Structure 1
Amino acid sequence: MSDRDLRPLRSIRITGDGRCLFRSVAYGACLRRGHQSPTDSAQKELADELRAKVADEFIKRRGDTEWFLEGDFESYVRKMRKPHAWGGEPELLMCSHVLRMPITVHMYIKGSDSPRIIAEYGQEYGKDSPVRVLYDGYGHYDALQPSLVRTQSRLRGV
């Protein structure tokens, strides 16, 4: 684990409108690409675009994904295209493929003061600076970003 991974993480509250997984991932992808934090309306637009691409990715990878989806494949994909359908592990995996970025899911575990990694997706796209999301254990995802930490070298202007 690098020093960057040891920095404290800051939770970014994401609107809970059925798109929270996609909003959180889109938010993290923007930050990872060096863009500014997206506004709530931009999050919604980016989330809906990502959701559509994820549904397409399921179809593209049907042979690899059909077996781990609940129920009928076509029904599942049709449901996931709807803007208020909740996403989970299968969608996180497809998000990593669509974005070609690693995604790390964190969760607060009883007795811990910081969130712990509970799942990682897209490790084939690298392990540095993953898109980080925080799962609450009840169906909601928020975005996570490393806190800005001033180091001595930054204070000296190096």
Structure 2
Amino acid sequence: MVRMESGLGIPGDGRCLFRSVVHGACLRAGKPCPSESIQKELADELRSKVADEFIRRRTDTEWFLEGDFDTYVKQIRKPHIWGGEPELLMCSHVLRMPITVYMSTDSSDGLKIIAEYGQEYGKENPIRVLYHGYGHYDALQMPLTKTKSKWVTFWFIADASWKNRAQIVHEKLKHCIENKIHKVSDYSFLEDKP
């Protein structure tokens, strides 16, 4: 069992998967959370790299994508198009980092692991995202403490009222601004890897 301190509500703007992965990559690299505008920019950059990764791995990926490969890749480049499992797999390759996806259980405070990607890049300290269903992803915050169960328990912002959720997000962004986290160059770990 893993207990999580909190999650972060990611806007449902078609970029939620990419925003969540970017946020998780920042946490994994020990970087503070990016501002909303930088998060959006980094998410769009990651999306573009994911589309390029599909092309590089066409032989390996074409068979599991829905419809025509070229049309799929063209569509996924658009910022309002949702990403899913194929994009999470490509994110792990682009970033060369493991990604673990969680989903809520029937209990009000439980999560379970539903997918893991990029295990070839290590299993320790993966990027953690929460899948709410219906195509929406949120970032999960650290720190984590391990326990013996296979279930995950945590408290996340999505349980708060929208007003409280907005206030919590505002406080997180305020922290980023106060710490002068405002340049894309602060997140160079997201750049192309050799």
TM-score (norm 1): 0.88
**Residue 140 (1) aligns with residue 136 (2):** yes
Gaps of 5+ in 2: 146-194
Going from structure 1 to structure 2, the CA distance change for 1:83 and 1:7 (only over 3 Å counts) comes to same
Going from structure 1 to structure 2, the CA distance change for 1:61 and 1:141 (only over 3 Å counts) comes to same
User: Secondary structure of the equivalent of 2:52?
Assistant: helix
User: Which of 2, 22, 30 lines up with 1:6 in the alignment?
Assistant: 2
> Match of 1:51?
47
> Match of 1:154?
none
User: Secondary structure of the equivalent of 1:58?
Assistant: helix
Q: Can you list the C-alpha shifts for 1:129-158, whole angstroms capped at 9, x where unaligned?
A: 000000001111000022478xxxxxxxxx
Do the aligned residues in 1 keep the contact of 2:16 with 2:137 (CA within 8 Å)? yes
Do the aligned residues in 1 keep the contact of 2:27 with 2:142 (CA within 8 Å)? no
User: Which of 24, 30, 34 lines up with 1:28 in the alignment?
Assistant: 24
Q: Can you list the C-alpha shifts for 1:10-30, whole angstroms capped at 9, x where unaligned?
A: 111111100000000000001
Relative contact order higher in (CA < 8 Å, ≥ 6 apart): 2
Following the alignment from structure 2 to structure 1, what is the Cα–Cα distance between the partners of residues 4 and 93?
Answer: 27
Q: Provide the aligned C-alpha RMSD in A.
A: 1.4
Following the alignment from structure 1 to structure 2, what is the Cα–Cα distance between the partners of residues 122 and 112?
Answer: 29
> Match of 1:125?
121
**Equivalent runs, 1:74-113 vs 2, <5 Å:** 74-111=70-107, 113=109
Following the alignment from structure 1 to structure 2, what is the Cα–Cα distance between the partners of residues 107 and 9?
Answer: 16
Going from structure 1 to structure 2, the CA distance change for 1:111 and 1:7 (only over 3 Å counts) comes to closer
**What is the letter of the counterpart of residue 60 of structure 1?**
R
Gaps of 5+ in 1: 150-158
Deviating runs (4+, > 4 A) in structure 1? none
> Match of 2:11?
15
Following the alignment from structure 1 to structure 2, what is the Cα–Cα distance between the partners of residues 147 and 7?
Answer: 8
Do the aligned residues in 2 keep the contact of 1:7 with 1:146 (CA within 8 Å)? no
**What is the letter of the counterpart of residue 64 of structure 1?**
D
Following the alignment from structure 1 to structure 2, what is the Cα–Cα distance between the partners of residues 9 and 50?
Answer: 26
Do the aligned residues in 1 keep the contact of 2:92 with 2:99 (CA within 8 Å)? yes
Q: Can you list the C-alpha shifts for 1:107-140, whole angstroms capped at 9, x where unaligned?
A: 0021362211100000000001000000001111
Following the alignment from structure 2 to structure 1, what is the Cα–Cα distance between the partners of residues 46 and 116?
Answer: 19
Do the aligned residues in 1 keep the contact of 2:16 with 2:138 (CA within 8 Å)? yes
Do the aligned residues in 2 keep the contact of 1:57 with 1:94 (CA within 8 Å)? yes
Following the alignment from structure 1 to structure 2, what is the Cα–Cα distance between the partners of residues 55 and 27?
Answer: 19
Identity of aligned residues (%): 71
> Match of 1:156?
none
Following the alignment from structure 1 to structure 2, what is the Cα–Cα distance between the partners of residues 148 and 39?
Answer: 23
